[in-house]
Every structure is written in structure tokens, then in C-alpha cells.
Chain A
Amino acid sequence: MKKFLEIALGIVTSVGGFLEAGSIATAAQGGAAFGYRLSWAILIGTIALIVLVEMSGRLAAVSGHTITDAIRERFGGPFFVLVLVVVGLVSYLVLATEIAGVATALSMATGLATRWWAVPVAFAVWILLWRGTFGMVEYGVSLLGLVTIAFLVGALKLHPAWAQLGTGLLPHRPPNHAAQYWFVAVSILGASISPYLYMFYSSGAIEDHWDESYLGMNRLVATLGMTFGGVLSLAVLVVAALVFAPKGTHITQYEQLGFLLVPPLGHWGRLLFIASLGIACFGAAAEIALATAYMSAQGFGWQWSENIRPAEGARFSLIYTLLIALAAIPVVLGVDPLKLTNVSMALTAASLPVTVLPLLVLMNDRAYLHDHTNSWLGNGALILIALLSIVLLVVAFPLQLMGGGG
């Protein structure tokens, strides 16, 4: 029974972690501009994320080491610092994006400008981490995150053309606006395959004292949780394709997305969208700030855990404190939330090689995984993801310049 509950909670957590500002905005942009045609990017992103999350959970459960520990030991201190700098910078931008996401939701609800909400939102995220425990972050926020199921309800109520949607799941070339098409595709992949998610997941496995008996559960949670998250992302794309695409609406602001759920759900649609955006972004912000603190503490060998008091992990707690404070700055300065989202997601996509490539070595190291090293299937999938990550690194910057303006 306890395991069953853990599985259920694990899946809910994954959903909460998956859907955030980036996945909502990029899926909506994709649907509005290209109908169902970019569905394949969500499918590929979700499969890649399932593979990476399962592996990071397996590594942690079998070895008792997080990915960060293993990267530091296997590839040395200097390489770890490179990973920390790259992932840290990207996480900073994504954290700013999520804070902007919550602030935008509050602004839509109250009419008070987004920038005024930045500091209160950042403070609320910080208080949760400073006073809360790992369980509060993991379960509390993600249970609330179930409100995002509204997107799925909305998509089903609009009766999508399933055959057309099925065709969209196969990658193909764009009908027009090639640069924008590929830029949105890269952003969707960056939004789906977030390093903070699998870094957070492997730390969570240690916080929750996983061992080898959790391997089955790990596989189930990774597969079902991420699939569920992917389906919700796809639902956002479908609704946008049916609501915005026929009118030729061009998404340039988050505020436009407020009408996303109005055709299927009426007056409640707007409230549900605001609640979904606010809660999903708030949960993601807490996870990203925590994931960055975990990564620094684990790589440098400091005391770390969300379950100890800040005074017992001073450096750990001050890392997320500083990161949250700095991440509020661009939002206070009035940086456009949607532009910030697109830049962060593209850079996330470009940052993938530094965390994915080490896994190729680590997941085949018997010193860590004993009898649970990758199968040929796992290695095949990981090689494909590694190749994809290199392609994303190469194309992200040129596409940003060509199609980033939208």
C-alpha cells in the first residue's frame, strides 16, 4: 500500500514538474502557428525525458549517488565546474521565466502589472524552500498542479481530429515559415527535456532513501509520470491549434493565452488557465531553485538536504536564496515574459550535451550500477538522445537569431 501511494504521488509529482511556463508557452505557440504539425516535438521530447529520468533514478537508487556526485567523481572537479556553470546559467534564466510566469498569472487575475508581482512571487518561492521540507515541495505543490488537467479536458471537449493529430506526431518539414517552425520545435524540445527535472529527480531519490527495491517503481513513475506530463503539453498544443490557428492569431504575449480555454470551458476557462499557469510555474520555480542548490552542494561536497534547517546547510540554503533574488531582477525590470521564455527554452536545448553525454559513460559503469547497467535498448536510446542534444546545440543559436523574434 505504501509503495502504491508512493507511485501515485511520484506520478503526480512528475506531472507537476513537467508542465511549466516553457511547455505551456511553446506548445501554445506551436499550435497557434502550425496546428498539429509540431506534435512530434512534444512526443520526442517526452520519450527522451522518460529515458533520462528513468536512468537518473536508477543511478541514484543503485549507487546511492546523484548524477552530480557521479559526474564529479568520474570526470573530475574541473569538468563538474563546467557542467555547473552551463546548467547554472540556464537554470537561472528558466527560474526567471517561471517567476515571470507566476507574476503574469497574478497580473491577469488582478490587473496589476506583471513586474510588481516579481518580488512577492520570488519571496513566496523562497519562503517555501526556507521553511518547508522536501515533501512539501514535492507533493504539496504538485498535488495543486493537478489543476493543469483542465488543458486535457479542454482539448477533449473541442473534439480534435485524431487522424490529423496522429499525422502530426511524425516529424516532417514545415509548410512555411521554416525558421520559425524549427525555432519553436527546438523550444518545445528544450521545454520538455529540462536538465533540472532529472537532476532534481536523482536528488529526490536520495532524499527519499531509494534503494534497489525501488527500481520497478522508478521505471513506472518515470514512464507514466512523464507520459502524463507530455499528454498535458500536447493538450495545450491541440487547444491552441483549434482555438488560435483558424483565426490566424499570432502569439506575442502571455495575456493572449488567457483565452485559450474559454471556447471549450467558458468563463471558468480563463480562471483555470490562470490557476494552471500560476501553480505550474510556482512548482517549477521551487524545483529549479532547489535543483541548482543540490547540484552546487553535491558537486562541492557540502552538507545538503531540503529536510535540514537552513542553519545546518548554510551554503546550500544561501545558493537558492541568491539565485531566487537574482532571478527576480529581470522580471522587475520588465523583461518581456514570453521573449524570456523562448530564449530560456532554446538555451536549455543547447545546454543538453553537458548532462546527457556523461550519462553514456556513467550508465554503463558497473562500479555505480552493478548488474543494472544499460541494456542495448537503453544505450541505443541514450545515443539517439545524445545525437539530438548535439544537433540542438548546433542549431539553437542560429535559429534564435533567425526565428527567435517569432
Chain B
Amino acid sequence: MHLIGEVLDKQIVNRNGQYLGKVDGLIITVGRGRPCVTQLETGGTVLATRIHSRLGAWAAALRRRWGDGDPTPERIPWSHVDSVGITVTVDADARTSRARAWERWLRRHVVSHIPGH
């Protein structure tokens, strides 16, 4: 699979130049014929699982308790990938993307309470 080395761990950027995490994982579907990448995954739990499955479970538990309480990572279908270069450009809305769920939660519940934000 040539693609794994070309996409994994790259920066995900949307069409507005907003950062949507790194490609932490890939969903590969083995259908008829050769296996193919169907989705990109991004989220701390995915990266944690790559280091050790127990660390992944721990990260997911942490996410259930803190923040928005939902540990599912953002999955971007391959059809939404515009181009793969130095970064991976995707068609995704930063306002709703799960890649920014933590960011939004921290902004609403922490940063907005600190003067001068």
C-alpha cells in the first residue's frame, strides 16, 4: 500500500486553510479485488491506540468523562479528499467537524471565561 506512507500523519487542511488535525489513522476496506482506503481518521484516541491499545482505551475513557463526552474520532470519506500534497486538503466544515470538537468545547467552557480571549 503506497498510499499509507503518503497520507498517514500528514496535516489535514480544509478549503479555507483551517487545520483539522493530522491523519491519525486510515480505514481500509478489503472488498472485491485490492484493498482500498475508504476513510481518513483523526483524533487523539486513534493516535493513542496506535501507541498501545490500553492507552487508546484510557484516552477514550477520558474523553467520555471530559469535554463533549464523545470519544468517536472524525472520519472523513476518501471522496471528500481534494488533494494530497504536503498537506491533505479536504472538503469539510471546520464549524461542525468532529476534528474540532475538543477545540470548540474548550473555547466555550474554558477560554471564553478568561478575560482578553
Contact = CB atoms under 8 A, between A and B. Distances in A.
A367 to B, nearest CB: 9
Interface string A51-71: 000000000000111000100
Contacts of B19: 301-304
Interface in B67-117: 86, 99, 102-104, 106-107, 110-112, 114, 116-117
A299 B12 CA distance: 12
A311 B20 CA distance: 16
Contact of B111 (A63, A80, A303, A314): A314
Contacts of A77: 9, 22, 24, 47, 50-51
Nearest to B47: A77
Given A81-B47, A301-B21, A317-B111, A76 B9 contact: yes
A63 B86 CA distance: 8
A73 interface: yes
A65 B44 CA distance: 21
B117 A310 contact: yes
Contacts of A302: 19, 21, 103
B110 A301 contact: no
Interface in B1-60: 8-12, 18-22, 24, 42, 44, 47, 50-51
A387 interface: no
Interface residues of B, number: 29
Contacts of B24: 77
A6 B55 CA distance: 45
Contacts of A65: 86
Given A81-B51, A301-B20, A314 B103 contact: yes
A301 B111 contact: no
A373 B98 CA distance: 38
Interface residues of A, number: 27
Given A72-B22, A77-B50, A301-B11, A314 B42 contact: no
A309 B111 CA distance: 10
Give the one of B9, B22, B86 with max A CB within 10 A.
B9
B12 A301 contact: yes
A372 interface: no
A167 to B, nearest CB: 49
Nearest to B13: A301
A303 B47 contact: no
Contacts of B21: 300-302
A338 to B, nearest CB: 34
A219 interface: no
Contacts of B102: 315
A205 B103 CA distance: 25
Contacts of A214: none
Given A76-B8, A77-B47, 18 more contacts: A72-B22, A77-B24, A77-B50, A78-B50, A81-B47, A130-B116, A130-B117, A131-B116, A301-B11, A302-B21, A303-B19, A310-B114, A311-B112, A314-B104, A314-B110, A317-B111, A318-B110, A321-B114
